[in-house]
């Protein structure tokens, strides 16, 4: 979707033991990506490499400050436990935001 412009990483302030099974299932259904087979796992913020852009998801979580040249809060709802329809709505929002970020980074020095 945007790997030609930027590398993406995901981490949390208090990572769970496993990735949300609904996220794993729906990403596989929608995009054919098996997150677990691709080595995805929950990570802490301290596991991230140095980044240029920090995106926070909202979800009512306070995030410590990470050094970055660009920062955005996307203010997304946490769909955990709310069913596939809500989860898919959030995935749709994420997809749209990633495309917008890709377009924005293509016009700055932060993109590849």
Query: Hey, what are 52's tokens?
Result: 């240029």
SS3 content of the chain, % helix, strand, coil (to 5): 35, 15, 55
Q: Which two tokens stand for residue 71?
A: 């920062």
Residue-level pLDDT, tens digit, the chain, 112 residues: 888 888 888 887 777 888 889 999 999 999 998 988 877 888 888 888 888 888 888 755 666 677 888 888 898 888 999 999 999 999 999 999 999 999 988 888 765 5
Give the list of residues 6+ apart from residue 97 with CB closer than 8 angstroms, or none: 55, 74
Task: Report the candidate in 88, 67, 75, 77 with the shortest Cα–Cα distance to residue 23.
Answer: 88
Does the predicted TM-score (pTM) go above 0.85?
Answer: no
Determine contact, residues 9/49, Cβ cutoff 8 Å. Answer: yes
């Amino acid at each position: 979707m945007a790997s030609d412009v930027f590398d993406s990483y995901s981490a949390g302030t208090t990572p769970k033991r496993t990735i949300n099974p609904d996220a794993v299932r729906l990403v596989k259904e929608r995009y054919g990506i098996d997150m677990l087979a691709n080595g995805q796992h929950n990570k802490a913020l301290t596991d991230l490499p140095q980044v240029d852009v920090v995106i926070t998801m909202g979800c009512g979580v306070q995030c410590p400050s990470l050094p970055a040249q660009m920062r955005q809060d996307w203010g997304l709802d946490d769909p955990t436990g709310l069913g596939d329809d809500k989860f898919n709505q959030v995935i749709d929002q994420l997809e749209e935001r990633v495309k917008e970020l890709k377009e924005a980074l293509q016009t700055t020095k932060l993109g590849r």
